[in-house]
């Protein structure tokens, strides 16, 4: 029981750490690049930037106020478990964005550079929230809730609708088509960076090992030293007609050299070849639910 409680707290702390990092990326995107340049790169933060000349409300506070009705809706539709971490994330968002605004200067007034850098930081933030298995509030939550009413549409379409509306409002407020284009560029960069990071964080290498002698020492070494599972496959060398075990193991790319070094140490005559895996789900990698979530995000 105590071990289960420790593991649960470890998971919660890990999620909170990713929420903190994600909000920090959002804060840097807004305060270093987007706010002063009037670039509304989607989300409630973009709406706050667009309406700031009239409202004069700190961005973080504006996003939290706009998100509160959505969290009430989320409790009704999806229950407390869905929205609790998201609500914590929204409060942290308000604190991090508005406090960092006091110390983070605008680093460039080049609109294209600001849109690119702000979009990249937003994309990194979205991955942090994906790792935390929660939403960041704002239009992220709004899009998911709208899906409960319009199930025929995809999440990607909902994001496009919500963020597109923010860009349109920005152009109308500023009376400037160019500022809307830079906002759209920021949204596209955010999506591109997010997709690339999703593809990278779930990569793995599959190693097939054909021992020249007994397979057990190599398998034991991989399991004990690398803490990775090993599967034995029946094999037969067609030239010599000898029966052999073929070992298969899946490791992170950074562990590849360790596999080769271990095999060379234990069985220098072994034959080793590697194939790349585009996606891996299971113990030691992403869990199946997270993998399915990422796959849906790719399709959207």
Query: Domain boundary at 201, 223, 238, which?
Result: 201
- Where helices occur in the chain by DSSP H, the ranges are 2-28, 43-55, 59-78, 80-100, 111-131, 138-147, 155-174, 177-201, 216-221, 256-266, 288-299
Q: Is residue 38 part of a domain?
A: yes
Same domain, 180 and 89: yes
Specify whether 102 is located in the same domain as 243. no
pLDDT single digits (tens) 191-222: 888 777 766 666 788 999 999 889 999 999 99
Residue 11 in this model has a pLDDT that exceeds 60: yes
Question: Which residue range(s) make up the domain with 62?
Answer: 2-201
> For 245-286, how does the pLDDT look when each residue is reduced to its tens digit (9 = 90+)?
899 999 887 788 899 999 999 999 999 999 887 666 666 555
Distances (CA, A) of 9 to 1, 12, 168: 13, 5, 43
**pTM over cut 0.85:** no
Whether 125 and 213 map to the same domain: the answer is no
What is the total count of domains within the chain?
A: 2
User: Do 265 and 250 belong together in one domain?
Assistant: yes
Indicate whether 145 and 163 sit together in one domain: yes
What does DSSP assign to residue 105? P
- Provide the pLDDT confidence category of residue 151 given band limits of 50, 70 and 90: low
Is residue 186 domain-shared with residue 247, that is, in the same domain? Answer: no
User: pLDDT tens-digit profile of 155-174?
Assistant: 566 777 888 888 888 888 88
> Cα 66–69–71 angle (5° rounding)?
105
Tell me what the pLDDT averaged over the chain comes to: 82
Is 285 inside any structural domain?
no
Q: Is residue 139 over pLDDT 90?
A: no
* 138 vs 118, higher pLDDT: 118
Q: Are residues 129 and 227 in the same domain?
A: no
Q: Are residues 6 and 18 in the same domain?
A: yes
Query: Do 162 and 66 reside in the same domain of the chain?
Result: yes
Place of tokens 């807004």: 30
**pLDDT at residue 41, rounded to an integer:** 86
Residues 162 and 61 in one domain: yes
Residue 174 included in any domain: yes
First to last CA, the chain: 40
Structural domain ending residue among the three candidates 172, 201, 230 = 201
pLDDT at 20: 93
Tell the burial category of 272 from Cβ atoms under 10 Å away from its Cβ (0-12, 13-18, 19+). middle
More confident residue, 189 or 253: 189
């Amino acid at each position: 029981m105590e071990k289960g409680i420790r593991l649960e707290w470890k998971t919660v702390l890990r999620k909170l750490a990713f929420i903190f990092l994600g909000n920090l990326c959002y804060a840097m995107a807004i305060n270093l690049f987007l706010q002063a340049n009037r670039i509304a790169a989607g989300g409630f933060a973009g709406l706050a930037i667009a309406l700031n000349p009239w409202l004069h409300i700190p961005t973080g506070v504006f996003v939290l106020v706009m998100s509160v009705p959505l969290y009430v809706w989320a409790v009704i539709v999806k229950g407390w478990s869905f929205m609790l971490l998201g609500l914590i994330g929204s409060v942290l968002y308000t604190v991090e964005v508005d406090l960092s605004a006091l110390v983070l200067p605008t680093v460039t007034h080049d609109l294209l550079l600001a849109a690119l850098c702000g979009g990249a930081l937003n994309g990194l933030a979205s991955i942090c929230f994906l790792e935390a298995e929660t939403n960041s509030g704002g239009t992220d939550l709004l899009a998911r809730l709208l899906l409960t009413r319009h199930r025929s549409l995809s999440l990607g379409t909902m994001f496009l609708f919500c963020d597109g509306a923010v860009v349109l409002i920005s152009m109308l407020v500023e009376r400037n088509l160019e500022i809307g284009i830079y906002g759209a560029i920021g949204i596209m960069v955010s999506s591109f960076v997010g997709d690339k990071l999703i593809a990278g964080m779930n990569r793995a290498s599959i190693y097939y090992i054909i021992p020249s002698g007994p397979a057990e020492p190599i398998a034991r070494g991989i399991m004990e030293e690398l803490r990775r599972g090993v599967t034995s496959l029946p094999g037969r060398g067609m030239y010599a007609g000898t029966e052999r075990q073929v070992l298969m193991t899946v490791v992170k790319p950074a562990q590849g050299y360790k596999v080769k070094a271990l095999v060379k140490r234990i069985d220098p005559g072994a034959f080793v070849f590697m194939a790349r895996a585009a996606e891996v789900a299971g113990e030691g990698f992403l869990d199946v639910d997270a993998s399915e979530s990422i796959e849906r995000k790719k399709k959207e």
